[in-house]
Amino acid sequence: MDKFRMIFQFLQSNQESFMNGICGIMALASTQIYSAFDFNCPCLPRYNLAYGLGILLVPPFILFLLGFVLNNNISMLAEEWRRPRGQRRKDPAVLRYMFCSMAQRAMIAPVVWVSVTLLDGKCITCAFCTSVPVETLGNASHPGLSQGDIKRVLARIPCKEIYDGQELIANEVAVRYLRCISQALGWCFVLLMTMLAFLVRSLRPCFTQAAFLKSRYWSHYIDIERKLFDETCTEHARSFAKVCIQQFFESMSTDLVAAHCHLPRKDPEDAGEATEKLLGITDWDTMNTALKSWHRCKPALNLHPPALPTGNGWAGEGQPPVHPPVPQKEMAAYYSWV
């Protein structure tokens, strides 16, 4: 149990690295799921497009939501967004920063899925096989085939075993044409996502450095404040339970003594320490009131710091220096000397 506790504490202290590892695992899992997935195109004109685009877009959406679910900060973001204003104002820039940070990690697995799917080409081949330019790649003047029959024949291109339109267009030609387009889209998508990630990670702090630093600082503060509050509540609950259990056994000991069962009675050594950790909150209603007050009206972020020195370039710049008052006796001596 100690080893598991140490691992859990390490993951909590390195939450950012832990979430990056989770995103990497999800990306690898998405590729494994796609490779193990048995892709079966229906080869019907009305269903090919829906099936192909569904396989291309629905799993990435699920992986995107799963990335938010596995992120521990999603509940913190929702709590900060929905909490009452109270004595502490809510900064939309901090909420946007927290959401963008989570969205960037959650986008990794969907991007990998879409990239692998486009580079493989099966989904595009299934979805757009009825749009193959027969005039360019095949025999558009095939006798005895209407437009509906041509669509039906083209819809069977992904199913090589039942394809019967070699006289209209060769199966290999159509598959190579669609796969070439799919791979071109895949590499364009990879390039676009790489450039977008570069711009977001590298150039955004350069243009809004001050706002970026403030948003990052206060997002870290909210995270640390929540962890410390949970730790304080855990310690208070442990002390509360310890005092309740001690009082229960003391009452049982008193009842046994009253029943002429003389048992040795020993005062607990840490009873006073546990009572001190309760901080005066020693009943159900008071604890519930304290928790509701923390949610409804968090304390203002104003710790009354000491006055900052002036004239150093970062506080009080451009203001005249403030001199201490001169005592009256010294003023009178000065004027008498003059």
Question: Quick one: what percent of the chain has pLDDT higher than 90?
Answer: 20
Rounded distance between C-alpha atoms, residue 27 and residue 69, angstroms:
15
Tell me the average pLDDT of the chain.
76
Prediction pTM value = 0.68
pLDDT of residue 116: 92
The whole-angstrom separation of Cα 287 and Cα 294 is: 11
Residue 23 identity (one-letter amino acid): C
| Mean pLDDT for the stretch of residues 113-138 | 90
Cβ–Cβ < 8 Å for 83, 298: yes
Q: pLDDT per residue over 240-292, tens digit each?
A: 888 888 887 777 767 666 665 544 544 555 556 667 767 677 777 888 887 77
Res. 312: pLDDT tops 50: no
CA–CA distances in Å: residue 305 to residues 299, 301, 302: 16, 11, 8
For 164, the enclosing helix (H) or strand (E) is none
Select from 247, 225, 233, 245 the least CA-distant residue to 277.
233
Q: Are 44 and 106 in contact (CB under 8 A)?
A: no
What are the C-alpha distances in Å from 99 to residues 75, 82, 94, 95, 238?
11, 14, 9, 6, 34
Going by pLDDT thresholds of 50, 70 and 90, the confidence category of residue 323 is: very low
User: Measuring CA to CA, which residue among 229, 127, 120 is closest to residue 179?
Assistant: 120
More confident call, 132 vs 146: 132
Give residue 169's pLDDT band: very low, low, confident or very high (50, 70, 90).
confident
Place of tokens 């006073």: 272
Of the ranges 73-87, 157-171, 197-211, the best mean pLDDT one:
157-171
